Amino acid sequence: MIAEFGLAALWLAAALAGLQLVMGVSALRNGDGPLAILVRPVAVMQGVLTVVSFAALVALFIRTDLSVKLVVANSHSAKPFIYKLAGTWGNHEGSMLLWVTVMAGMGALIALLERRLPERTMLATLATQAFVGLGFYAFLLLSSNPFERLPEPAVDGMGLNPLLQDIGLAFHPPTLYLGYVGLSLAFSFAVGALLTGQVGPTFAKVMRPWVLGAWIFLTIGIAAGSYWAYYELGWGGWWFWDPVENASLMPWLAATALLHSASVLAARDALRAWTVMLGVVAFSMSMVGTFLVRSGILTSVHAFAVDPERGSFILALLAIYIGGALVLFALRASSIAEGERFSVTSREGALVFNNVMLSALLGIVLLGTLYPLVTEAFGVKVSVGPPYFNPVGAIFALPMLVVMAIGPLLRWRRDRLQRVRSPLIAVGLLLVLVLVGLLVWRPFGLLPLLGLGLSIALMVASLLPLRGRRLRHLPLAVWGMVVAHFGIGLALFGMAADSSLTVEKLAAAQTGDVVAVGPWTVKLEAVEPVAGPNWTALEARLKAQYRDGAVVTVTPQARSFWTPPQQTSESALLTRWNGQLYAVLGNETEDGRWQLRLWWKPFVTFIWYGGLLVALGGLLALLGRVATDLRRRSAVRQIAQRKNEIAKVRGA
């Protein structure tokens, strides 16, 4: 009965989404009334029901209910508990149910918590959220039912893709979806504001924390996904410009631009139309990414849940939502005044410049992702990878990093570069010294050289807003900006260091052989069979030593799964503060030697430490804004209470 219970909850949630849309539109057309009062409770109930439905699917996977088609196709009784749990969203239907759950949950949260937005705009926002949700409910219930029963229960399941049988699957997709789908709120807020014409600082202040929350999860999801692919796929890389990777990067770029634009709107009442447009674009990129990943029109090592037949359904939703929002924007944009003006040399000017650069980067990634699809339609197969993305992206990323270092030092509205001349000269001199020092040390390619130099300069410059200020009294939002910008510099340093300093060694070794890679010596002690709950493996025992340091054992494996039958390479990582030793065991050669792939990757971990710092910066900024809002609400309550007391005294 769990499957039927989950399906019934999903149908009820879909019905409530329809009711929420009808009541929201009716209340907008006829003014406030009984229907307007019911919109919020209906949105909350819809969110609760989707959570119930998703919990039912989780229960089916944990119990390995072999009467359910989805469980049979994606699970197995011998799988460890964590992979049974993660298998819930490691497939097409389950991941789409997670999508709907996050979307309805976000709608329920704003209905429950958000009180600052004008009521008409809130009604329009909740109606839009319901309208978007209805399309995905229809997609699930009409073509991707996750609770479908089999005529007869199966003897056992077919198992989960072995590449997904990793702890990363338990954390990466949920965090990514919270960010990915959380941006639907930005879309709904933007459409709601367009419908009512109420675009101003209040709108930006309301939308910003919700977008910031989604952006934090998206940042964590991208960083976690990058590290997961790095150690799980066994090829030693952390980013391949794969369509699935690009699918998460594009909404992140748009959301980053949106956050900065919303800050300008909230602080200076400027960039109204631009902010609304970015709200539409951010979620549109999530939709585009979903279509690319789920339709099967682009191949990817990560695309584990493609479905070409149902891709057309998502394409139709994409056309309706994005096309409709763009038409609405074209019709209503002229009614939105652009707001206050500001000087080019100001913090707003720096933010606008970086917004343009982020938008250009988004366009480059989108073009590079779609171009192979377009050429294939004309019978020409091409692949687009680092030779395109890296140099073309650098044209916009490098000036953006320079302005990112300068912008936080400028004042709002109008400023002079002479006022910040001293710190800028100091950072410039540091950049020159770093570049000269690197060139003296060893030859570098142009991009890695600029990447290393600018990353160090950016990390130093990101700390300059703290200069001369009382640190204990600084707002959390300022700390958030400093930490996030420092994290960008740290991640960039890790990327540049990995691309320019990595040492790779491919060896055919027999027991007792010693292989040198960078500062490491690695001795092959033995290769032995081992077994896990649903796999067997050959495990190499390697004794690794960094220069004259202690000897450490690492154990890469070549695993063989039997449900479904597939071989995978489980890399072994040895982490030091200044990098990682990365080891992969290959096949045995005819003369009894074992293929070993070894990498020494200096400072590669800084990529993910930087990503986590960026997310931490966002979290600090979010906490600061929530604390400010709570203090404001408390002050409003105290003022109201005081007024009531005065009124009572006067009445007496």
* Alpha helices, DSSP H, located in 338-378: 347-377
The DSSP annotation for 252-319 comes to HHHHHHHHHHHHHHHHHSB-HHHHHHHHHHHHHHHHHHHHHHHH-SS--SS--S--HHHHHHHHHHHH
CA distances from 306 to 71, 146, 294, 312, 606 (A): 17, 15, 4, 12, 33
Q: Is residue 240 part of a domain?
A: no
Number of domains in the chain: 2
Taking only the tens place, the pLDDT of each residue in 53-80 is: 999 999 999 999 999 999 999 898 888 8
Kindly give, in sequence order, each residue whose CB lies less than 8 Å from that of residue 313, ignoring residues fewer than 6 positions away. 139, 143
Q: What is the pLDDT of residue 306?
A: 52
Last residue of a domain, one of 159, 182, 206: 159
Q: Is residue 98 part of a domain?
A: yes
Cβ-contact 362, 396 below 8 angstroms: no
Residue 467 CA to residue 409 CA, distance in Å, equals 10
Q: How far apart are the first and last CA of the chain?
A: 63
The DSSP annotation for 477-497 comes to HHHHHHHHHHHHHHHHHHHHH
Contacts by 108-115, CB closer than 8 A, 24 or more apart:
108/43, 108/44, 108/45, 108/46, 108/47, 108/48, 109/47, 110/43, 110/185, 110/210, 111/39, 111/40, 111/41, 111/43, 111/44, 111/47, 112/40, 112/44, 114/206, 114/210
Residue 144, token pair as written in the block: 């991707």
Taking only the tens place, the pLDDT of each residue in 109-119 is: 999 998 888 88
Q: Is residue 450 part of a domain?
A: no
Q: Count of CB atoms within 10 A of residue 417's CB? A: 11
- Please classify residue 440 by burial: count the beta carbons closer than 10 Å to its beta carbon, then call 0-12 exposed, 13-18 middle and 19+ buried: exposed
Kindly give, in sequence order, each residue whose CB lies less than 8 Å from that of residue 373, ignoring residues fewer than 6 positions away. 297, 298
Torsion of CA 407, 411, 416, 422, to 10 degrees: -60
Q: Which domain holds residue 547?
A: 503-604
Cβ-contact 187, 256 below 8 angstroms: no
Residue 490 CA to residue 325 CA, distance in Å, equals 37
Q: Left (φ > 0), alpha (ψ -120 to 50) or beta: where does 512 sit?
A: left
Residue 218 CA to residue 226 CA, distance in Å, equals 12
Q: Is residue 90 part of a domain?
A: yes
Taking only the tens place, the pLDDT of each residue in 463-498 is: 999 988 888 889 999 999 999 999 999 999 999 999
Residue 435, token pair as written in the block: 């570049």
The DSSP annotation for 539-558 comes to EEEEEEEETTS-EEEE--EE
Q: Is residue 593 part of a domain?
A: yes
Last residue of a domain, one of 105, 139, 159: 159
Residue 619 CA to residue 331 CA, distance in Å, equals 36
Cβ-contact 605, 589 below 8 angstroms: no
Q: Is residue 599 part of a domain?
A: yes
Residue 535 CA to residue 426 CA, distance in Å, equals 57
Last residue of a domain, one of 117, 138, 159: 159
Q: What is the pLDDT of residue 301?
A: 47
Kindly give, in sequence order, each residue whose CB lies less than 8 Å from that of residue 16, ignoring residues fewer than 6 positions away. 42, 45, 46, 49
Residue 315 CA to residue 325 CA, distance in Å, equals 15
Angle at 569 between CA 568 and CA 574, to 5 degrees: 150
Cβ-contact 408, 464 below 8 angstroms: yes
Q: Is residue 530 part of a domain?
A: yes
Q: Is residue 559 part of a domain?
A: yes
Cβ-contact 412, 340 below 8 angstroms: no
Kindly give, in sequence order, each residue whose CB lies less than 8 Å from that of residue 411, ignoring residues fewer than 6 positions away. 346, 347, 419
Rg for the chain, CA atoms, rounded? 27
Residue 627 CA to residue 649 CA, distance in Å, equals 33
Amino acid residing at 84:
K
Q: What is the mean pLDDT of each run of 10 residues along the chain (652 residues)?
A: 95 97 91 82 97 97 94 89 89 91 96 90 95 94 92 88 81 89 94 91 92 96 93 88 89 96 89 92 90 67 54 84 91 78 88 94 94 82 87 94 91 87 91 94 92 95 90 90 97 96 95 96 96 91 95 95 85 96 93 94 97 97 90 85 85 68
Amino acid residing at 313:
F
Cβ-contact 373, 366 below 8 angstroms: no
Query: At residue 236, what are phi and psi to the nearest 5 degrees?
Result: 85, 0
